[in-house]
Every structure is written in C-alpha cells, then in structure tokens.
Amino acid sequence: MNTRIVSSVALAAVIALGATGCSLIAHQGTLTPYAPSDGIDANAGAVEVRNLLLVVSEENGVLNTVFTAVNSSDSVQQLSMTIVSSDSQQTVHTFEIEPGTTKFGDPSSDLDLAIVQDPAARAGALASVYLQSGNSTEVQRDVPILDGTLAEYANYVLTAAQLKAALPATDDLTGEEVPETDVEATTTTPAAE
C-alpha cells in the first residue's frame, strides 16, 4: 500500500515538473532589457539616452537626431555624440543636459537641432553613433534611421525652411560660413521687348 502511494506521488511530481518545468531551463525573454520603441537606449556616464533615432528627410538627405536624455545628477552634464554618416564622415554634437528629462530633436522647440547631412541615408538603415558623458567610456550603438512614414515621426522630418534656420549659410564655392545680412534677395527679370 505504501509503495502505491509513493509511486502515485512520484508520478504526480514528474507530471507536474514536465508540464511546468520549462522555465527552469528555457531563456525568459521578459528578463532581457530592451527599448520598447523604434529607437535604442544607451547609458553614457551620468546621462541616460532613451529612444535615440535619426529621422531622415530623403528629399534633402538631412538626418535629425531625436532622443530623450535623463540626467539623474544635480548638475548640468555634457553629452558628446559622434554620428558617422554613410560615407564615413563624422559629425560631433555636444549637448548640455540639465538635471531631469530633456527631449531633443523637436523642430518646434527652443533647443538647437543636431543635424547630420548624409545624402545617401535611407530609412531602414543603421548609423553608427558614439556617446560619451564626462570621463565615462565611449559607448557605440547602431541607431536606426527612420523617415516620416509613421505619423509619430512626421513632425521630426525637417523641411527646407527649418533646415535653413538651423544651419549657417555657406558660400557655394568655398564652403565657408557666410555672415547673415539684413539685405533681402532681389530678382531681376529681363525687360520684355
């Protein structure tokens, strides 16, 4: 009789373990941290970068750097971001991150835009971005390039007027920065005969 009870309990334990024991050896995906949006997350020293992505305007090849920075410290932190374009050119942007949470990349905000010119950039590609804050080790991430196809990113695609306001004027021949003037452009039309 004891043998029958012991074997019934053992059989029940084997069935219970077989039916529910997968979590003992299987990888649990919910324990892996990930960015729940289209961008990527990275920690650079005292600054946490959240949902970092580049939004391209394919008509003019301009990338707008969009992200949220979280500064948990009590002082302003500097974040250095180096973006490598498809032709291996590096563009370095430095951000002053106030304590708290700051959103970057919104053309309608008062914050300066971090723009990268890359005529070959296309939505769906990845760009190499290097992040560093203070004396921390530089962190490299492959950042997705998106366009305005999705409604939530349409406002981040820079128009020609926004781009002109964000970039300094340059001389077409020398590439040198041209100081702004208050003189309006005039157009001369040939006289009709």
Over residues 133-154, the pLDDT tens digits come to 988 999 999 999 999 999 999 9
CA distance linking residue 82 with residue 87, whole number of Å = 14
Q: What per-residue confidence (pLDDT) applies to 169? A: 56
pLDDT at 58: 74
Determine what percent of the chain is predicted with pLDDT higher than 90. 46
CATH number assigned to the domain with residue range 40-162, chosen from the 4 options 2.60.40.3770, 2.60.120.10, 3.40.50.300, 2.160.10.10 = 2.60.40.3770
| pLDDT score for 180 | 40
Confidence (pTM): 0.71
79 pLDDT band (50/70/90 cuts)? very high
Rounded to whole angstroms, the Cα distance separating 154 from 108 reads 13
Task: Say what the pLDDT of residue 32 is.
Answer: 74
Q: How many CB atoms lie within 10 A of CB 60?
A: 13
The residue ranking higher by pLDDT, 143 or 6, is: 143
- State the pLDDT at residue 84: 92
Nearest one of 36, 38, 49 to 146, comparing CA atoms: 38
What average pLDDT score do residues 166-174 get? 53
* Residues 71, 47: Cα–Cα separation, whole Å: 5
* Between 186 and 62, residue with greater pLDDT: 62
- Round to whole Å and give the CA distance between 40 and 54: 10
Average pLDDT, the chain: 81
Q: Which residue did the predictor score with more confidence, 56 or 18?
A: 56
Q: Go through the chain and tell me how many residues it has.
A: 193
Pairing of strands 139-146, 47-57: parallel
Identify the three-state secondary structure at position 51.
strand
DSSP annotation of 38 reads S
Residue 14 confidence class, pLDDT cut points 50, 70, 90: confident
Instruction: Output phi, psi for 138, to 5 deg.
Output: -65, 135
Q: What is the mean pLDDT of residues 13-17?
A: 80
**Between 129 and 17, where is the model more confident?**
129
Q: Is the pLDDT of residue 190 over 80?
A: no
On whether the CB atoms of residues 71 and 100 are closer than 8 A, the answer is yes
Nearest-angstrom CA–CA distance, 5 and 12: 11
